[in-house]
Amino acid sequence: MTETAPTETGLFAEEMTISVGPQHPSTHGVLRFVVKTDGEVISEAIPDVGYLHRSIEKIGEKVTYHGYVPYTDRADYLAAMFANQAFCMAAEKLAGTEVTRRGEFCRVIACELNRLASHLISVGTFGQDIGAMTPFVHALRERETINNLMEEICGARLTYNYIRIGGVGYDILPETLTKIAEFLDHFGPIVEEFNRLLSGNKIFIERLAGVAVVSKEDALSYNLVGPNLRGSGIKWDIRRDIPYSIYPELDFEVPVGTAQVGSLGDSYDRFWVRIREMQESAKIIYQCLKMLPKGPAISKVPRKFKPPLGECYARVEAPRGDMGFYVVSDGSEYPYRVRIRTGSFAAMSIIDKLSKGIMVADLIALIGSLDVDAPEIDR
């Protein structure tokens, strides 16, 4: 497929076809891009997905509703809590199950902690893609504390299986709540330190400003969601616009890209939206800790969970954007069909368009700024 064409000097210039991935250090899992380049400038980069397909949707048809919750963890291992919540919301809507009020608060606390962890990984690995090694380790250090908290909340550090149909698996203990508050007090200054180290760095800004600009129209037509969409200046957040759980009662901002260093929708804007979302998440958890009511964490749900005939779509605002679970019930113990909609898959489609004419180093920055996550793409 290499093009051979004589240049002005009469020399023959050939385009090089390189396979970036599936074992490349910066493809965030097993992703592959077929890149055509003249050495530095890319003429085409075609994403090749499917290396991490685990048939999570098909598994849903073979296990019970309760039994499927642990599988949803694996849809996006960096944000397992959100997949739990989306599936449980769908199942609850189908069966009309009530969620206890304390259960809702526990869900939001756990989800926002998970969002912090996920965004920390995202901005950390993004810094590493650009070549800054130290911010990555600092981000992972903070994530480690969150993992410890998660372990106290639900016993697992990565695949939580915490949110169950009707509430949450375990109530959050009072001493864990104190620890969460302590962590948040510590986390605010850490974000500022992170900004001094990475976000305000001249080289970092130069590398990202004006690179891989997604216009508002492109963001909408390519169906970008989450921070990628907000980075282009569109204020759309499921938590605010299609409210679920207790989010309407909470006071939080939806950060959008402001083109502060380059043009609107560039890689830096997407990065900066994530940094500010972390601060907003911390704010949300503070409020939840203050408002946390007493009561049971989970409502009475029958062990044989049989929702009536019907279909339902539930969506949550995951760290990688709008995550939706479409569940069809045929009245039996098993879902008739489960379909998962994830943000990373949508983000992959725009890479082909954005990668024309940028450099190899910028492609890495682009993949990092879209925060694509291989297991979430393939499911």
Partner 1 sequence: MIKDGAFAGVPHQVVYAIGMVLTAVVVLSAFVAPLAGITSWLERRVWARMQSRVGPNRVGPQGILQWLADGIKNIMKEDIIPTAADQKLFPLAPYIVFMGFLCSFVVIPFGANLIVADLNIGILYLLAVTSLVVVGILMAGWASNNKWSLLGGMRSAAQIVSYEIPAGLAILTIIFLAGTMSMQGIIKAQGWGPWDWFLFDNPFTFCAFFLYFTAALAEGNRTPFDIPEAESELVAGYVTEYSGMRFLFFFFAEWGNLYVIGAVATTLFLGGWQVPPLPIFDNHPVLLGMAQFVTFFLKAYMWVFVAMWVRATLPRVRVDQLMALCWKYMVPLSFICMLGTIGFMFMSHQGRRIFGALTLGFAIATIINFFRRVGFQFRAAKPEFYWKPHI
Of the candidates 30, 254, 292, 360, which one interacts with partner 1 according to CB under 8 A?
360
Q: Of 197 and 289, which CB lies nearer to partner 1 in the complex structure?
A: 197
Instruction: Answer yes or no whether residue 249 interacts with partner 1 by CB under 8 A.
Output: no
CA pair distance 162, 166, nearest whole angstrom: 11
Instruction: Answer yes or no whether residue 127 interacts with partner 1 by CB under 8 A.
Output: yes
3-state secondary structure of 113: helix
Q: Of 58 and 196, which CB lies nearer to partner 1 in the complex structure?
A: 196
Q: Of 24 and 157, which CB lies nearer to partner 1 in the complex structure?
A: 24
Residue at token pair 């005939």: 309
Instruction: Answer yes or no whether residue 197 interacts with partner 1 by CB under 8 A.
Output: yes
Cβ burial, residue 99 (10 Å; 0-12/13-18/19+) = buried
CA pair distance 376, 174, nearest whole angstrom: 33
Smallest gap from Cβ 120 to partner 1, in A, equals: 14
Instruction: Compute φ and ψ for 95, nearest 5 degrees.
Output: -95, -10
Instruction: Answer yes or no whether residue 179 interacts with partner 1 by CB under 8 A.
Output: no
CA pair distance 264, 215, nearest whole angstrom: 7
Binding mask 23-62 for partner 1 (x = CB under 8 A): -xxx------------xx----------------------
Which token pair is 34? 């077929």
CA pair distance 280, 251, nearest whole angstrom: 9
CB 46 within 8 A of CB 21: no
Instruction: Answer yes or no whether residue 198 interacts with partner 1 by CB under 8 A.
Output: yes
By CB under 8 A, the count of residues binding partner 1 is 35
Which token pair is 58? 């098909």
In the region spanning residues 330 to 359, those forming contacts with partner 1, defined by CB under 8 A, are: 359
User: Which residues would be at the binding site for partner 1 (CB under 8 A)?
Assistant: 16, 18, 24-26, 39-40, 127-134, 137-138, 141, 189-190, 192-193, 196-198, 201, 203-204, 206-207, 359-362, 364
